[in-house]
Amino acid sequence: MKNMVLIVAGLLMLGNWEARPQNKVDFVKEIQPILQKSCVECHGPEKQKGKLRLDSKEATFKGGKDGVVITPGKADKSEVYRRITLPAGDDDVMPNKGDVLTKAQTDLIRDWINQGAEWPDGAVLASVAKKDEKAEEAKAVEVPKLPDYKPSAAELKAISKLESLGVAARPIAMNVNWREINFRAQGADVLDKALLPLKDVLGLVDLNLGGTKIKDADLANIKGLINLNRLHLENTPITDAGLVNLKGLAKLNYLNLYGTAVSDAGLKQIEGLANLKHLYLWQTKTTEAGVANLKKSLPNLDISTGAEFKEIAKKEEKKDEKKEEKK
Ligand code: HEC
């Protein structure tokens, strides 16, 4: 039955798609993920290869060391399109490491440029969060403010267990025992094995599970990490049910739920986190009403919803609805 519903929903979406004029490419849904995955690593906040950044509208249209890289309306005159369609192995091909883009991807970029290369104002790739992170990290590293922390024997054992799995629990600054762990580049099998020792790393202040396969039930293992300050759960299968485990993380300051199935019910679970200052909800199932409700409990919380994109999406939907009515 569930499958049936999915299939029907899929068909409806297809119908919708075809009703759109000449398959207009949707920057946020179709182009942004490509740039994010294949380009921003070298053309973003960390590195600006060829003096080019591709993470914001302003930077992208400013171009790189050789000038403009996208000419709206003219893919064949655009350096970006030329670079991504070069044969693998060419000196100039982009991305210049790893796999070349697929034909489907380069066609999307071509159509997007030919349709005017619209980039909604405010659509900034990873860098928003990243920049924030940097500022936060700079703050976190102000060591003198950190109270002393002495890990227990069990914690030290857990840390070496993690190390043997290839997971580094790194001190966040010199001569301190507060630690951070990043699972982003780890395989699912490593994560599975690491969950148990993770429980004992009570000095953990920064945990990045973004992009991993972490499940709701797994979050029970971080329930007791009461010193946790920053938690990345973006782009994971986490849902409302998992957030129940965050209730006791009283020091949590930063929580990223971008790209998860979390809804208003999940927000209810975190409304007691009095120290939460930054929450990312872009591309979740939360609603304006749910966000407003959370704001009531946590007035100082800075919530990033990407509302501007939802507005755009709504307008598109309305247009499509009207078309349907005319039929
Ligand atoms: C692994 C790093 C890396 C990745 C990933 C990468 N690039 Fe580059 N890119 C470079 C380097 C290095 C240069 C400068 C040397 C050159 O011009 O070939 C460059 C230069 C460019 C330039 C020329 C800028 C100028 O003004 O000269 C464009 C356009 C470009 N990249 C587009 C892209 C696009 C689009 C993607 C994603 C599909 C991408 N790059 C992914 C490393 C990368």
Q: What is the mean pLDDT of residues 162-189?
A: 89
Task: Report which of 296, 230, 288 is spatially closest to residue 264, judged by C-alpha positions.
Answer: 288
Residue 212 to residues 34, 37, 50, 187, Cα–Cα distance (Å):
19, 15, 31, 8
Question: Band of the pLDDT at 143, cuts 50, 70, 90?
Answer: very low
pLDDT surpasses 70 at 3 = no
pLDDT surpasses 90 at 145 = no
| Bond into 197 cis (ω within 30) | no
| Half-sphere CA count of 89, side-chain side, radius 13 A | 1
**How much is the pLDDT for 9?**
45
Q: Is 194 exposed, middle or buried (0-12, 13-18, 19+ CB in 10 A)?
A: buried
CA–CA distance, 28 with 306 (Å, rounded to integer): 11
Question: Band of the pLDDT at 208, cuts 50, 70, 90?
Answer: very high
| Half-sphere CA count of 157, side-chain side, radius 13 A | 7
Locate 60 and state its tokens: 């992208």
Q: Which residue has the higher pLDDT, 267 or 89?
A: 267
Q: Could you tell me the end-to-end alpha-carbon distance of the chain, in angstroms, rounded to an integer?
A: 30
**Which of 52, 106, 113, when mutated, tests ligand 1's pocket best, judged by the most ligand atoms within 8 Å of its CB?**
52
Question: Band of the pLDDT at 187, cuts 50, 70, 90?
Answer: confident
Q: Residue 93, Cβ neighbours under 10 Å: how many?
A: 17
Q: What is the mean pLDDT of residues 30-47?
A: 91
Locate 128 and state its tokens: 């928003």
Question: Band of the pLDDT at 175, cuts 50, 70, 90?
Answer: confident
**Which of 90, 94, 99, 105, when mutated, tests ligand 1's pocket best, judged by the most ligand atoms within 8 Å of its CB?**
94
- Residue 82 alpha carbon, nearest atom of ligand 1: 29
Question: Band of the pLDDT at 310, cuts 50, 70, 90?
Answer: low
Locate 241 and state its tokens: 């049910």
Q: Is 83 in the pocket of ligand 1 (CB under 6 A)?
A: yes
**How much is the pLDDT for 128?**
39
User: Which of 104-108, 171-175, 253-257 shows the lowest per-residue confidence on average (mean pLDDT)?
Assistant: 171-175
Nearest CA to ligand 1 atom 22: 50
pLDDT surpasses 70 at 60 = yes
**How much is the pLDDT for 174?**
76
Q: Is 115 in the pocket of ligand 1 (CB under 6 A)?
A: no
CA–CA distance, 320 with 272 (Å, rounded to integer): 40
Residue 13 to residues 8, 16, 234, 320, Cα–Cα distance (Å):
9, 5, 25, 11
User: Which of 151-165, 216-230, 308-322 shows the lowest per-residue confidence on average (mean pLDDT)?
Assistant: 308-322
Residue 327 to residues 19, 245, 268, 316, Cα–Cα distance (Å):
11, 49, 42, 17
Q: What is the mean pLDDT of residues 186-209?
A: 93
- Give residue 158 CA to ligand 1 midpoint distance, Å: 41
Question: Band of the pLDDT at 186, cuts 50, 70, 90?
Answer: confident
**How much is the pLDDT for 16?**
41
| Residue carrying the six token digits 């906040």 | 45
Q: Which residue has the higher pLDDT, 272 or 327?
A: 272
| In contact, 178 and 201? CB cutoff 8 Å | no
Q: Is 99 in the pocket of ligand 1 (CB under 6 A)?
A: no
Q: What is the pLDDT of residues 68-93, one digit of tens each?
A: 999 999 999 999 999 999 998 899 99
Task: Report which of 236, 208, 230, 44 is spatially closest to residue 125, judged by C-alpha positions.
Answer: 44
Q: Which residue has the higher pLDDT, 95 or 138?
A: 95
- How far out from the chain centre does Cα 101 lie? 21
CA–CA distance, 236 with 211 (Å, rounded to integer): 5
Q: What is the mean pLDDT of residues 86-112?
A: 93
**How much is the pLDDT for 322?**
53
Q: What is the pLDDT of residues 26-38, one digit of tens each?
A: 998 899 989 998 9
In terms of phi and psi (left: phi > 0; alpha: psi -120 to 50; beta: otherwise), the region of 51 is left
Determine what percent of the chain is predicted with pLDDT higher than 70.
Answer: 80
Determine what percent of the chain is predicted with pLDDT higher than 90.
Answer: 65
Q: What is the mean pLDDT of residues 207-226?
A: 95
- Residue 92 alpha carbon, nearest atom of ligand 1: 18
CA–CA distance, 291 with 298 (Å, rounded to integer): 10
**How much is the pLDDT for 10?**
44
- Residue 34 alpha carbon, nearest atom of ligand 1: 38
Q: Is 263 in the pocket of ligand 1 (CB under 6 A)?
A: no
CA–CA distance, 222 with 195 (Å, rounded to integer): 8
Mean pLDDT, all residues of the chain: 84
Q: Is 50 in the pocket of ligand 1 (CB under 6 A)?
A: yes
**How much is the pLDDT for 94?**
96
Which residue type occupies 112? W
CA–CA distance, 77 with 34 (Å, rounded to integer): 20
Nearest CA to ligand 1 atom 17: 50
- Residue 97 alpha carbon, nearest atom of ligand 1: 1
